[in-house]
Structure 1
Amino acid sequence: MDNVFLEALVRALAVGTPLLLACLGAVVNERAGIVNLGVEGMMAVGALAAFAVASASPDANLWLAVGAAMLAGAALSALHAFATVTLRANQFVSGLALALIGTGAAGLLGKRFEGMPLFNKVPDWTLGGLTISPFTVAALLLAGALAFFLNSTRPGLTLRSVGENPAAADVLGVNVGAVRVLAVLAGGALSGLAGAFLALSYRASWADNMTAGLGWIAVALVIFVGWRPLRAVWGSLFFGVLYYLQFRLQGNSPVPPEVFSAMPFVLVLVVLAIAGRRGQQGDAPAALGLPYLRGER
Structure 2
Amino acid sequence: MTAPVLEISGLTVSVPDATRTDGGRGDLTLVDNVSLTLERGERVALVGESGSGKSMTAKAVMRLDPTVDLAGSIRVAGHEVVGAPERTVRRMRGSAVSMVFQDPMTALNPVLTIGDQVTEPLRLRGVPRREARARAVEMLDRLGVLSAADRMDAYPYEFSGGMRQRVVMAAALIGGPDVLIADEPTTALDVRVQEQVLDLLEEQSRELGLAVLLITHDLAIVAGFAHRVAVMRHGRLVEDRLVDDLFASPQHPYTRGLLASIPSVDDDPTVRLRTVDDVMREDAALAASGTALEARR
Q: TM-score, normalised by structure 2?
A: 0.26
Larger radius of gyration: 2
Q: Write 1 or 2 for the structure with the bigger share of strand.
A: 2
Which structure carries more helix by proportion? 1
Scaled by the length of structure 1, what TM-score is found?
0.26
